[in-house]
Structures are given as structure tokens and as C-alpha cells.
């Protein structure tokens, strides 16, 4: 990309020295084509920006993924939508976002509440992002209902999108850190966890939640 910009700069100086209208038009065409090439390179580069890594947790192997803006995915190996937003071309490695997420997981699986949130890059619809932001505000060691999350995410409070909220909770790409495991049914049913109800129970128990108050499916 720097090479292309250098070429444009050199051509610009050359055209000015010629002071020829026809040549100037050719230069404008060249700049336009090079501009398209820059867009293509940028879009192509986007496909290679994701980096993945794995984390061995007490409840199974976890897949983590990040891009240049933050953590984009965290899936249990039993997750219904495992790796659903991964690009076709990604690399396996480490970076500051993955390292931060692993540090968070280390603290969490010691039965402690992490005092920070790794930098996240939530990717989804505006409604899904509002739901996930609401999940992030559920306090450690507590639970809430789908109805409550719907109230927080709804723009029209008179019409609560409870079903849509359930769908957005289910499509949470960053489990555990975005704590969808803390959402239960209004009648205390332990329902709807993509990684499996057994994993949901273990995560809640790890946070000190009394599971006996809930109805198992």
C-alpha cells in the first residue's frame, strides 16, 4: 500500500513538470484505478486480520478469536454456534487482546471476579449489540431474566421483544465474558444456553450462585 502511494506521489510531480492537459487526464484515471486497488487491498486484508487461540478450561477447551479492534469470539467446544463468525482465512497466534482474555479467564476459573473487561469488538446488529451490552451489566454472582434484558435493549418499552432477545442472547459470540449464562427464565427455568445446560450450571456454581433455586430442564 505504501508503494502505491509513493507511485502516485512521483507521478504527480512528473505530471506537474509536463504541464500537459491530456497527460493530466491520464493521471486522474491512474489515480482512480489505484484508488480502487487500495480499496480492494484493504478489503482483502480484512479477511486476514482474525487471529485465533485456544484455552484449556475446567469446563472444556475454549476457542478465542480477535481482530484488530478487540476480542470478537469466545466459544466453548460444545457451543451451538462454534466459530460462526470466523473468517475463512485466519491465523493462529497470540496478541494483546487474546492475552487479556486469557488473563480474565484465569481469574474467573479461580472462582474470583475479574476487575476488568478485555477489549471487545462486538459484531452484530444494533439490537444484538444492545442485548450484549445489557448482558455485560449483569453483576457477577447474580442472575436475571430474558424479560429484564429485553427491557434494557428495547427502544419501545411498550413492546418488549422477548423472543428476539432470546435469539440475540443465544447468538452471543463471546460467551462467559459477555455473561449470557446469567440469564434464566422468568419462572426460574435454566433454559437456553448454547454451550449446554451442564456448562451453564457449572459457570453459575463457579460464581457462587445457589443452583437449587432453579428448575432444570
Would you state the cell numbers that stand for residue 204, as one nine-digit string?
A: 453459575
Q: Strand 70-76 vs strand 60-67: parallel, antiparallel, or unpaired? A: antiparallel
175 is catalytic: no
Contact 30, 36 (CB under 8 A): no
Where does residue 152 rank: exposed (0-12), middle (13-18), buried (19+ CB within 10 A)?
Answer: middle
Residue 189: strand pairing partners: 215
Name the residue among 145, 121, 125 with its Cα closest to residue 135.
Answer: 145
Contact 176, 203 (CB under 8 A): yes
**How far apart, in whole angstroms, are the C-alpha atoms of residue 20 and residue 38?**
26
Among 180, 190, 203, 206, the one annotated catalytic? 180
C-beta contacts of 152-158 below 8 A and 24+ residues apart:
153/127
Catalytic residues: 180
Amino acid at each position: 500500500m505504501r508503494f502505491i502511494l509513493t507511485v502516485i506521489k512521483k507521478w504527480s510531480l512528473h505530471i506537474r513538470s509536463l504541464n500537459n492537459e491530456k497527460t493530466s487526464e491520464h493521471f486522474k484515471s491512474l489515480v482512480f484505478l489505484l484508488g480502487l486497488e487500495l480499496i480492494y487491498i484493504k478489503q482483502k486484508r480484512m479477511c486476514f486480520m482474525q487471529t485465533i487461540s485456544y484455552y484449556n478450561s475446567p469446563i472444556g477447551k475454549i476457542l478465542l478469536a480477535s481482530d484488530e479492534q478487540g476480542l470478537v469470539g469466545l466459544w466453548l467446544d460444545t457451543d451451538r454456534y462454534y466459530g460462526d463468525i470466523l473468517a475463512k482465512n485466519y491465523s493462529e497466534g497470540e496478541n494483546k487482546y487474546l492475552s487479556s482474555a486469557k488473563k480474565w479467564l484465569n481469574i474467573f476459573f479461580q472462582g474470583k471476579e475479574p476487575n476488568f473487561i478485555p477489549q471487545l469488538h462486538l459484531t452484530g446488529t444494533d439490537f444484538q449489540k444492545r442485548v450484549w451490552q445489557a448482558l455485560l451489566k449483569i453483576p457477577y454472582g447474580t442472575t436475571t431474566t430474558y424479560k429484564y434484558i429485553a427491557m434494557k435493549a428495547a427502544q419501545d418499552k411498550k413492546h418488549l421483544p422477548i423472543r428476539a432477545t432470546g435469539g440475540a442472547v443465544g447468538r452471543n459470540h463471546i460467551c462467559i465474558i459477555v455473561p449470557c449464562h446469567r440469564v434464566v427464565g422468568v419462572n426460574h427455568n435454566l433454559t437456553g444456553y448454547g454451550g449446554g445446560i451442564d456448562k451453564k450450571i457449572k459457570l453459575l456454581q463457579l460464581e457462587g450462585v445457589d443452583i437449587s433455586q432453579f428448575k432444570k430442564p
